[in-house]
Amino acid sequence: MRRPVCLLFATSLLALGCGTLNRNNDVAPRAANAPVPTADQLVAHLNQNARNIQSLEFYQVSIDVKQGIQQFGVDGNLAYQKPRNFRMMASALGATEADVGSNDKEFWFWLKRADPPALLHCSYEDFPQCRSLNLPFHPDWIAEALCVNELGAASQYQVRPAGKVLELRSQTSTPQGQPLEKVIRVAQSGPNTGRIVGYQLKTPQGQEVWSAEIQEYRNVRGYTVPYVVSLRCPSEKMTLQFTLNKPRVNEVQNGNAGDMFVLPRNYPKVIDLARGPNSLQSVQRTSGLTR
């Protein structure tokens, strides 16, 4: 089950865009001799951008996956609403390949080619108990990677210049308590100046857990949203590139989401990750995603 778990979570992170979202708030390139901005200044700039986005949808997502020598592509769509509502579905040749989602209580994912092909889910409350799973990041980091959520207190970050980018570094950990370093890269020059162009999680020994690169953005009704993004998961020798088309900003509201962010009931088998394979159970088939 290890590989499907990592694949789906990596897929969900990349599908969400791993990019920054802002509204007409670009900053001028920093001159070579200009002082490095403080953490307070840089976090305030990124948080101002993030506040403008409450929800984001992409109705046409092309996903190119490379794992080792294997390559394949799938199509999908995704939606995200603050603070934890997320849904991404991917398909190939008319058949669903992946279903990833979350709400304020739980998260889930289903992979057609997994063994077993069951809907895996877990509540956020129980997730710290999942010590046997090789999950390289917490589901909350999915939403964080979109940069539609504010970064939090600037005091937790250190700013370091690194060539053409500024790095915001902070200490974090997995739900199981394993320490990690998080690096957020902000462009100092070029077309993405003032925007987040990369994410990285590293172990204390410097080993990369995953990294994301935002290659292109586009403007949607005055908002700048990610367009081409890629994610690398070294432990799986996996690279995923997403092209995010047909975006809609701030159109998902509490009254019109339907069952988009509800645990689906159209899969025949369900496994609670906090309880392990022994929790495998059958569920009655009902209608699937309605939106």
Using only C-alpha atoms, what is the Rg of the chain?
Answer: 19
**Which class would CATH give 2-282?**
mainly beta
Q: Which of helix, strand or coil describes residue 49?
A: helix
pLDDT per position in the chain (291 positions), as tens? 444 444 444 434 333 333 334 444 444 455 556 788 999 999 999 888 788 889 999 999 998 988 888 888 999 998 899 988 999 899 988 888 888 889 999 988 888 877 767 888 889 888 877 765 555 445 566 566 666 778 889 999 999 999 999 999 999 887 778 899 999 999 999 999 999 999 999 999 999 988 888 899 888 888 888 899 888 888 878 888 889 999 999 999 887 888 999 999 888 888 888 876 655 554 333 223 333
For residue 135, give both structure tokens.
Answer: 């999950």
| Residues linked to residue 122 through DSSP beta bridges, in sequence order | 107
pTM of the entire structure? Answer: 0.80
**Residues 64 and 46: beta-carbon distance below 8 Å:** no
The pLDDT tens digits of the residues spanning 253-284 come to 887 888 999 999 888 888 888 876 655 554 33
- Round to whole Å and give the CA distance between 59 and 211: 25
What's residue 281's pLDDT?
54
H or E segment to which residue 202 belongs = strand 196-202
CB atoms within 10 A of CB 202: 16
Domain regions of the chain by residue span: 2-282
The pLDDT tens digits of the residues spanning 46-56 come to 888 788 889 99
Distances (CA, A) of 269 to 1, 2, 79, 279: 15, 18, 24, 10
What's residue 116's pLDDT?
67
